[in-house]
Structure 1
Amino acid sequence: MTALYLRARLGRVDFVELGAVIAPSGVLVLATVGHLDYIWPSIGERLSDRAAAVAATGGGHIQEWLFEAVAVPVDADRPLPVLAAVQPSPFFGEAAITMLEVRLGGEGAGRLLGDLPADRCGMVLGDAVALDSWVGLSVEPHTDYDNFRRSARNHPLHVGPVEVAGCPVLGIGWGEGDHSMRHRGERAAGYVYPATVTSDDSSGTVLRWDVDPAKVRPPTA
């Protein structure tokens, strides 16, 4: 039983450090992994171009078919610490992420970026231009996706760093059983979670993704 799991059991909302990312392009993206490397070539666009346009407005949501992301402007030279709030899964007891927080620094007004599903294949957080080069599930070998899964294999929160186009990004996975019970159906079933930019007295501006299923009440059929 890990110390992370023990802290979660005590009922406190602990923030656990997951590492840091950088965004040399000045645009940070949190994206679903499943269709990341398929959708953009198929429509003749680049994720980074769409993300830059969204970031220029202060940040917002991107959706193409089953792919979704949020993008925000950031300081290109600043390492961005990534943390997660964790609580025990009510179904399996293992520690599970209920909030992702990226400390952007500086000052900024609060903003709702949109909402995102917890993609069964995982999420990726990193520089918009670097993610143009992500090699995931649409081609063999699944280089970056496989590297992420290997990196996350022994992490209690299924999180793993991976280098893409020379830039460190962070892959965020889910326990298979916990995802099936708490996030299944994703957007089609109403399980989407708000991503916001907000100001924190101690950390400055932060990007928060509140991925707590207990706060979601999808409509019943």
Structure 2
Amino acid sequence: MELVELGVVAAPSGVLVLATVGHLDYIWPSIGERLSDRAVAVAATGGGHIQEWLFEAVAVPVDADRPLSVLAACQPSPFSGEAAITMLEVRLGGERAGRLLGDLPADRCGMVLGDAVALDSWVGLSMEPHIDYDNFRRSAKNHPLHVGSVEVAGCPVLGIGWSEGDHSMRHRGERAAGHVYPVSVTSDHSSRTVLRWDVDPANVRPPTA
């Protein structure tokens, strides 16, 4: 399977988060908590899923001093025929037992991958101006896979977007429609430890009625 390099992120707090963008900067102030506090607690158990209302994420412990390479597998979109991400992979390094962390929907507003503490400072859809979200969208505008790199609180963070048509055909309805995709810590073909999000709808069964 051929993988495409998307960029590099860092997690100096020692906790890496993959999260939905849509409610990232709205939900935490409204409940009087920080994403990083929840993420650190989840990472302390080896990693897992976080959900508050429509916001979802997974958090996993990582080496705080290690740059983390991000790659993707792609297939032609059924909407446009252009390349679309079907698997996201982050090279974590080291050795650890494989485990399922949970599952995530493909947020129509995009996903964000980065340091837990840095993401406490994310400014997105519920604030004016939409500083970090707008920077992500501008950065991703000319990327063939709708991926954009931004700096948040001094940390490199990666945003992953979708074309509207591709999202509508493959992911529309998100969790409510059963369109959620497994996130796991596993090994790749070279026995490297990776965080893997399998976002290929062909591999996910919708819920039965």
Using structure 1 for the length normalisation, give the TM-score.
Answer: 0.93
2:163 paired residue number: 175
> Percentage identity across aligned positions?
90
Equivalent pair of 2:78/2:169 in contact (CA under 8 Å): no
Matches within 5 A, 1:3-82: 13-82=1-70
User: Is contact 1:105-1:203 (8 Å) kept?
Assistant: no
* Structure 1 counterpart of 2:194, one-letter code: V
Distance between the aligned counterparts of 2:191 and 2:52, measured in 1? 32
Name whichever of 151-160 and 192-201 sits farther off.
192-201
Question: Deviation string for 1:59-84 (max 9, x for gaps)?
Answer: 00000000000000000000000000
2:150 pairs with 1:162: yes
Give the Cα separation in 2 of the matches to 1:202 and 1:219.
Answer: 34
Q: Which residue of 2 aligns with 1:5?
A: none
Equivalent residue for 1:208? 196
Q: Is the 8 A contact 1:117 1:193 kept in 2?
A: yes
AA aligned to 2:61 is P
TM-score, scaled relative to structure 2: 0.98
Among candidates 170, 181, 186, match of residue 193 of structure 1 = 181
> C-alpha root-mean-square deviation of aligned residues, in Å?
0.9
Count residues with an aligned counterpart. 209
Structure 1 segments, 4+ long, off by >4 Å, are: none
User: Distance between the aligned counterparts of 1:175 and 1:220, measured in 2?
Assistant: 28
Residues 101-133 of structure 1: CA deviation (Å, up to 9, x unaligned): 000000000010000000000000000000000
CA distance in 2, matches of 1:114, 1:67: 14
User: Does the 8 Å contact 1:151/1:160 carry over to 2?
Assistant: yes
Which segment drifts farther, 28-37 or 85-94?
Answer: 85-94
**Counterpart mapping for 1:142-153 below 5 A:** 142-153=130-141
Farther-moved stretch of structure 1 (208-217 vs 142-151): 208-217
**Correspondent of 1:92 among 74, 77, 80:** 80
1 CA distance for matches of 2:83 and 2:189?
Answer: 27
Residue 48 of structure 1 and its aligned partner are, at CA, apart by 0.2
Note the alpha carbon deviations across 1:159-193, whole angstroms, 9 max, x for none.
00000011100000001100001100000000000
Cα distance in 2 for partners of 1:144, 1:203 equals: 35
> Structure 1: any 5+ residue segments left out of the alignment?
1-12
Measure the CA separation in 1 of the matches of 2:4 and 2:83: 11
Report the Cα distance in structure 2 between the residues aligned to 1:174 and 1:40, rounded to whole angstroms.
25
CA distance in 2, matches of 1:187, 1:201: 30
In the alignment, the residues of structure 2 paired with residue 151 and residue 65 of structure 1 have an alpha-carbon distance, to the nearest angstrom, of 28
CA-to-partner distance for each residue in 1:122-146, whole Å, 9 max, x for gaps?
Answer: 0000000000000000011000000
Q: Do residues 219 (structure 1) and 207 (structure 2) align?
A: yes
Secondary structure of 2:66's match?
coil
* Residue in 2 that maps onto 1:83: 71
Q: Secondary structure at the match of 1:85?
A: strand
1:108-119 correspondence to structure 2 within 5 Å = 108-119=96-107
Q: CA deviation at 1:93?
A: 0.1
Q: How far 1:201 moved relative to its partner? A: 4.9
